[in-house]
Amino acid sequence: MGTPRIGVAALGGTIAMTSETGRGVTPTLDAQDLVAAVPRLEEVAEITATTVVTRPSASVTSADLAAVVDWAGERVDGGAVGVVVTQGTDSIEETAYWLDLHWDRPEPLVVTGAMRSPATPGADGPANLLAAALTATSTVARDRGVLVVMNDEVHAAAEVLKGRSSHPDAFVSRPFGPLGFLEEERLHLRAPGRRHRSLPTAKGATPPSVALLQTHVDDTGEVLDMLVGAGHRGVVIAGFGVGHVPQRMVGSVQRALDAGMLVVVATRAGDGPTHEASYGYAGSEVDLLARGVIQAGWLHPRKARVLLAELLRQDADADLVAEEFARRGSAG
C-alpha cells in the first residue's frame, strides 16, 4: 500500500501566526508553510495543502466553513482518506460543531490548531498537525464525524470546549471526556457514539440572526426584550442550573415566543444537561417547556446557538427544531 493521501486546509489562527512588527502575532503563514514545518509528515501522508482564508479565530465565518465543506468533499472525491483543517483555537468549539452538522462523509474531518505560535519555544502547532494527520489517515477515525485533535487528545466536535484561555492542554470534553488519545502515534478511541443526519450547507444564504444571552441574578428580562422585534429569529438563553430563568424574566420569554422567536434554554453551569420534569416554579424548566421553550439538553449554550442558527437557516419550524434538539442534545 502506498502512503495515504489527505488534504490540509488552513484558515489562520495562532498556528499560522508570526510577529512582523514586534507588536504581537498576526496570521501570516499559509497551508504550505504549516505542512513544511512538521518533521516526518510526508512519511504519514501525501498532502495537498490549501489556504482557504487567513483569519484570527473570532473572524472565521460560516461562509468560510461552507467553503471548507466543499473543499473537503472535493479532496475525498479525489481519493483523500481524510482531511485536516487548521484554524484558531478560540472558536473551534463552534466551528468544529458547525462542520460536524454538515459533514456527511465517513472520512475523518479533523480540526486542529495551536496554543503557542510557531516562534514560541515549545510551539505545539507541528505536533498537533502531525497528530491530526495521523488521525485523518486512521481507519479507526472513520464514521466519527468531525474530530478535534489537540495535545494528543481526540475530541468529538459536539462535546469539545476550550476550557481555558491559554496553555496547550486547553481543550476539554465535559462531562464524558475525550473520545480518545494518540499514543506512540497510534489512535485509541472509545466505542463510537451515534451520528446524526447532516444538514445542507445552504450556500450563500445569510446566517439568520440568533442571539446568545446569559441570564444572571437580578435579570429582569430587559436585554431579552431588546432582542424582540430587532430582527432576531431565535435566542439561546444560558440559564441557571438545569435550565431556569428568574421569575421576573418569564414575561420577556413569553413576549419573545409571542413575537415568533424560537427560544432555547441551555445551562450556564458549563457541564451537565437541562432537565424536563424536576422543578415546577415560574421560570423553571417545567414552566418554560409548557410555554414552548426548547431545552438544549447536553448541548453547551454556544453549540446550541450554532444548531439553532443552522436549523433556522433551513427554515425549520418550531416542531422540527424541538425534535432536532431532543435528538442532538441527548447524551447517547
Catalogue the active-site residues. Answer: 14
- CA–CA separation, 173 vs 182, rounded Å? 16
| DSSP-based three-state secondary structure for 287 | helix
Looking at the Cβ atoms of 118 and 239, the one nearer to ligand ASP is 118
| Part in contact with ligand ASP (CB under 6 A); list of ranges 87-95, 173-181, 239-247, 322-330 | 87-95
Min dist CB 87 to ligand ASP, Å, is: 7
Min dist CB 332 to ligand ASP, Å, is: 31
Looking at the Cβ atoms of 17 and 250, the one nearer to ligand ASP is 17
Q: Please identify which residue in 7, 73, 82, 88 interacts with ligand ASP, judged by CB under 6 A.
A: 88
- The dihedral region occupied by 231, where left means phi > 0, alpha psi between -120 and 50, and beta the remainder, is left
Residues 192, 94, 117, CA angle at the centre, nearest 5°?
100
Q: Please identify which residue in 14, 50, 201, 295 interacts with ligand ASP, judged by CB under 6 A.
A: 14
- CA–CA separation, 221 vs 50, rounded Å? 46
Strand pairing partners for 34?
none
3-state secondary structure 141-180: HCCCCEEEEECCEEEECCCEEECCCCCCCCEEECCCCCCE
Looking at the Cβ atoms of 164 and 216, the one nearer to ligand ASP is 164
Q: Please identify which residue in 50, 57, 138, 267 interacts with ligand ASP, judged by CB under 6 A.
A: 57
Min dist CB 25 to ligand ASP, Å, is: 8
The two beta strands, 262-267 and 294-295, are parallel
30 within 8 A of 105, measured Cβ to Cβ: no
Min dist CB 86 to ligand ASP, Å, is: 9
Cell 442534545 sits on residue: 329
Looking at the Cβ atoms of 88 and 126, the one nearer to ligand ASP is 88
Select the residue whose beta carbon is closest to ligand ASP and give its number: 88
Looking at the Cβ atoms of 16 and 237, the one nearer to ligand ASP is 16
Min dist CB 14 to ligand ASP, Å, is: 3
- CA–CA separation, 332 vs 330, rounded Å? 6
Q: Please identify which residue in 54, 89, 138, 252 interacts with ligand ASP, judged by CB under 6 A.
A: 89
Task: Kindly identify the residues of this chain, within the stretch 103-122, that bind ligand ASP according to CB under 6 A.
Answer: 113
Looking at the Cβ atoms of 167 and 188, the one nearer to ligand ASP is 167
Phi, psi of 133 (to 5 degrees): -65, -40
Task: Determine the distance from the C-alpha atom of residue 28 to the mean position of all C-alpha atoms in its chain, rounded to a whole number.
Answer: 24
126 binds ligand ASP (CB under 6 A): no
**Residue of 301, 228, 230 lying closest to 264 (CA atoms):** 301
Q: Please identify which residue in 8, 54, 90, 328 interacts with ligand ASP, judged by CB under 6 A.
A: 90
Site residues, ligand ASP (CB under 6 A): 13-14, 56-58, 88-90, 113
